[in-house]
Amino acid sequence: MAGALFVLLVYHVAMFARLAFRKPQVEPDRERPISVVICARNEARTLEELVPMLMQQDHREFEVVVVNDRSEDDTWEILQWMKPQ
């Protein structure tokens, strides 16, 4: 029984060690357009900080979509104020 467990342990270590210690070399693709979708409900203060930070990213082509989920605060007014920017 101990021998079978040892064989299984060696097998799992051999198979999964490659996945655990390998770091994939991935470069960001800044050419592909992206969309950032934000769902916000009563998040007026958070959106005042978040949206300008998202607009300063260095991606070439992107859009920020804010979904206003029945907010009861000033979220709509804040989004209308930020819309031209």
Q: pLDDT per residue over 45-67, tens digit each?
A: 999 899 899 888 888 888 999 99
What angle, rounded to 10 degrees, do the helices at 44-55 and 75-82 form?
20
Q: Which of the four pLDDT bands, split at 50, 70 and 90, describes residue 7?
A: very high
- Summarize pLDDT for 28-40 with one digit per residue, the tens: 777 889 999 999 8
Q: Are 53 and 81 in contact (CB under 8 A)?
A: no
pLDDT higher than 80, residue 23: no
pLDDT in tens, 63-81: 999 998 888 888 888 888 8
One-letter amino acid for residue 38 of the chain: I
